[in-house]
Chains A and B, each alone.
Chain A
């Protein structure tokens, strides 16, 4: 018998998609029975009360959680989010129900041993409810009490060699796609770079010193599977600067509709029949710069006009490969709707090498120049993208020491943010009007 009646939530148990309500009910029952004899360190009925408070929110159409003031672990300003229920008498099990963010591994690969040690810890010291994963990539542990925070942190660091993630006005936990670990498109090792950056900037991640949140996301190629261009203040997208590699035999296999060479790597093998693959229509016709030709069974690409949109490579992955001279592009300023509306990232560095041997120096220098400027000039709760809007992209180029390039202009003649400065003009701003009038009469 459930502790609270939940007729509204019960409706979310029907339908084919995995029901979190069913999962939470099973968890509530598991805690009530406690077959494993766990010495629960927070109320045993917290999951039953969580369902109760959620049902009440469904009834009222609003939340019953309050922000939690300052809770955390000693010396860190992030990683823990305080949360209290505003109906503690009705739902005492979730009166204190703080979130802990645990820094996920690169690519979100796990061993079951690791996951089991985490679930064991969270059953003992928390609600046993998680998010796998949050939007920044962290493993989110939902719901524990203040005295358990240090204890959880102790077990994580001492027994599991594992640290907390970011929250608040600091560097949020960097996240990546799986990169070269399982993808032939990846232009650099995203897993290694995200691991390096996370460790390099531990101080920025744990101790809030920024005007507001700051997110890194890393995509191995322009397909942008983690949508870094939309979701991060600084987005690292793999690219190349030499030529797309072409295997002409394989191109012809696609043209001949060889079953071993399915177009789009089989991404359209659904209930709809799109007919036979047509190179002319599906590749050449869709190339955004029309830089491809197929003549006499030979595909040629005018690489100088290629924008690396990935389309042809996605359609014929066995025939076309990314170039060999690879690196990444850095884009900055993407953010959510608050204030000036949602923004996508703007290209700051068209190409930079990814070199682990010198600790990714070319990348970290850009990061640190951007941070210096934003920490100095950013207003409280102003994202990088908003500062760029306020002070201008030219200012960003100036503080990062990056020369304006054609790639910085998104629409020619509509965003002329490149202005001359006085010391760049012969004679400065001063003019002798009399001298001028000698040659130009009124």
Chain B
């Protein structure tokens, strides 16, 4: 494996150096229907778990199929996402804050072929590569930290814990039977926000909130053996 140089010269680090250019311009990455209808969307609807339609004031429709993803992703897997996006979505794709992937198409007849393609793809071990779900009154993907895969101060693993937990919660990732949306997060040490942010749409009734809390408590109990000790409560003044 011979070293391939890009042209960077360690003796002259400032030569032809480019810095502080920031991220890519998001306008280059908008699918055409997004660029056209930005700021002019009328309403949206969740047609079934994992499938949304957004309708513009212009009458344009954008169908989105949301799939779960492991936060750790190989380049091979990303290339496969690109293959799907090239085949069905004219080469556009987006990721969500909660590590889901969204494939967007501009007409209803493109939804079924896309869904069928996504459902058909599995890893060698048997798990789904692109499970459809994560919308509405269900459990969406668990966001998490690095854990033993790459961190120097983890009290526990994260990716493995999340994989095991999402296997257990899988039905509710693909269903919308809960009283509100439920979000779960996993941190492998106290550096990150500790465990879970429940985020139902605001204005939910108290008894519904209790129901969510019970679900969460059951879930925390299930996870308890994997978790680090919780922080001691403290309100000392410094």
Residues of A within 8 A of B (CB): 9-10, 12-27, 30, 39-41, 44, 47, 50, 54, 57-58, 62-67, 74-76, 83, 97, 99, 103-116, 118-119, 122-124, 128-133, 135, 137, 142-143, 147, 150-151, 153-155, 157-158, 160-163, 173, 175, 177-178, 180-184, 186, 189, 191, 195, 198-199, 202-203, 206, 222-227, 230-231, 262, 264-272, 285-288, 309-312, 314-315, 317-318, 336-338, 340-342, 386, 389-390
Contact = CB atoms under 8 A, between A and B. Distances in A.
B26 A336 contact: no
Given A19-B127, A182-B62, A227-B197, A337 B231 contact: yes
B201 A311 contact: yes
Contacts of A135: 143, 145, 192
B224 to A, nearest CB: 15
Given A30-B76, A269-B48, A311-B203, A177 B97 contact: yes
B76 A128 contact: yes
A122 B1 contact: no
Contacts of B194: 336-337, 342
Contacts of B237: 389
Contacts of A336: 187, 190-194
> Among A22, A160, A195, A386, which residue has the most Cβ atoms of chain B within 10 A?
A22
A184 B197 contact: no
B164 interface: yes
22 contacts: A16-B131, A16-B167, A17-B68, A18-B68, A18-B163, A19-B123, A19-B125, A23-B74, A111-B91, A119-B82, A122-B75, A131-B71, A154-B6, A157-B17, A158-B6, A163-B20, A181-B34, A199-B22, A231-B193, A268-B177, A270-B138, A286-B205
Interface residues of B, number: 125
B137 interface: yes
> What 5 A-B pairs are tightest by C-beta distance, nearest first?
A13-B125, A311-B203, A15-B167, A267-B136, A270-B176
Chain A interface SS verdict (over half): mixed
A10 B126 CA distance: 12
Nearest to B101: A132
Chain B interface SS verdict (over half): loop
Contacts of B210: none
A39 B2 contact: yes
Contacts of A10: 125
> Among B45, B94, B135, B149, which residue has the most Cβ atoms of chain A within 10 A?
B149
Given A65-B150, A269-B46, A22 B123 contact: yes
